[in-house]
């Protein structure tokens, strides 16, 4: 089962997420590798990114990816890239060439396929031929979605793609998401969820794998659920 770690406050949970990202970067560096980290969208990771920006020591040892993106331009308020740029990349001085944006401004399927090509070009793959992220930082929707993998979506069953264009239940509807094989293949999966609104989804994730709760399908070997006391209720 996915490991659960409960923190007293959202701030504690955000700090723990930031520290785990820093640790994953250090682990890759100790193996002589550049770390590849995918970031979550939404609002929850905002503080974690601010704390992470203060803790990055070598911005040239890590490349940044996205678990999903909305099909909007990069300067759109709904853009997950814009959130990360404003809270992490600009604050930490991350070089542009270290950021692998999903091109939300392009036709969705074109953007998904271009992102797949970039993943394959930059990451080494596991035995199953799937590129391996060092860490996938994800959020959790109240309906149990993660990235842009929503309950009942056929995207949950796709195993021959790394990224997909989907139509989501959460606005904006048109999105591109990493698929489960990529997320499950990461060396570490961190799901960050805070607030009472996420308590039910947290409970469903802990109840075991169920396509009605996509985040419950992330696997358990290398997955950790970071929550505050409110989301653990």
The shares of helix, strand and coil residues in the chain, as percent rounded to the nearest 5, are: 40, 20, 40
- Taking CB under 6 A as the binding criterion, the range among 3-11, 35-43, 122-130, 151-159 that sits at the site for ligand 6PG is 35-43
- Taking CB under 6 A as the binding criterion, the range among 6-14, 140-148, 182-190, 222-230 that sits at the site for ligand 6PG is 140-148
Cβ contacts of residue 129 below 8 Å, gap of 6+? Answer: none
**Which x/- pattern over 161-180 shows residues binding ligand 6PG (rule: CB under 6 A)?**
---------x----------
Cβ proximity to ligand 6PG, 84 vs 123, nearer residue: 84
Give the DSSP H or E segment for 136.
Answer: strand 135-138
Instruction: Report in angstroms the alpha-carbon separations of 97 from 60, 65, 208.
Output: 10, 11, 39
Give the DSSP H or E segment for 80.
Answer: helix 80-84
Question: Does the protein bind ligand 6PG through residue 146 (CB under 6 A)?
Answer: yes
- DSSP 8-state class, residue 85: I
**Which x/- pattern over 56-85 shows residues binding ligand 6PG (rule: CB under 6 A)?**
-----------xx-----------x-----
For the CB of residue 78, give the shortest distance to ligand 6PG in the complex, in Å. 8
- Strand-pair category, 68-70 with 174-178: antiparallel
The binder of ligand 6PG chosen from 104, 141, 144, 214 (CB under 6 A)? 141
The binder of ligand 6PG chosen from 44, 87, 179, 213 (CB under 6 A)? 44
What distance in Å separates the CA atoms of residue 215 and residue 167, rounded to the nearest whole number? 17
Residue closest to 137 by CA, chosen among 1, 11, 7, 13: 13
For the CB of residue 45, give the shortest distance to ligand 6PG in the complex, in Å. 7
For the CB of residue 187, give the shortest distance to ligand 6PG in the complex, in Å. 20
Site residues, ligand 6PG (CB under 6 A): 40-44, 67-68, 80, 139-141, 145-148, 170
């Amino acid at each position: 089962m996915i490991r659960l770690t409960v923190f007293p406050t959202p701030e504690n949970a955000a700090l723990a997420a930031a520290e785990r990202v820093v640790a994953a970067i250090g682990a890759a560096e100790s193996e002589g590798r550049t770390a590849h980290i995918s970031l979550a969208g939404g609002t929850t990771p905002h503080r974690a990114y601010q704390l992470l920006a203060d803790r990055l020591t070598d911005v040239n040892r890590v490349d940044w990816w996205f678990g999903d993106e909305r099909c909007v331009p990069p300067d759109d308020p709904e853009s997950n890239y814009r959130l990360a740029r404003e809270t992490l990349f600009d604050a930490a001085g991350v070089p542009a060439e270290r950021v692998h944006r999903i091109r939300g401004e392009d036709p969705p399927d074109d953007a998904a396929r271009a992102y797949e090509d970039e993943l394959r070009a930059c990451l080494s793959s596991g035995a199953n031929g799937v590129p391996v992220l060092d860490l996938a930082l994800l959020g959790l929707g109240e309906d149990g979605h993660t990235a842009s993998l929503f309950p009942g979506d056929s995207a949950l069953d796709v195993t021959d793609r790394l990224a997909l264009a989907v139509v989501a239940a959460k606005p904006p509807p048109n999105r591109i998401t990493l698929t489960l094989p990529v997320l499950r293949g990461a060396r570490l999966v961190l799901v960050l969820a805070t607030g009472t609104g996420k308590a039910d989804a947290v409970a469903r994730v802990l109840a075991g794998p169920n396509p009605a709760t996509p985040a419950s399908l992330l696997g358990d070997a290398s997955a950790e659920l970071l929550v505050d006391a409110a989301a653990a209720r």
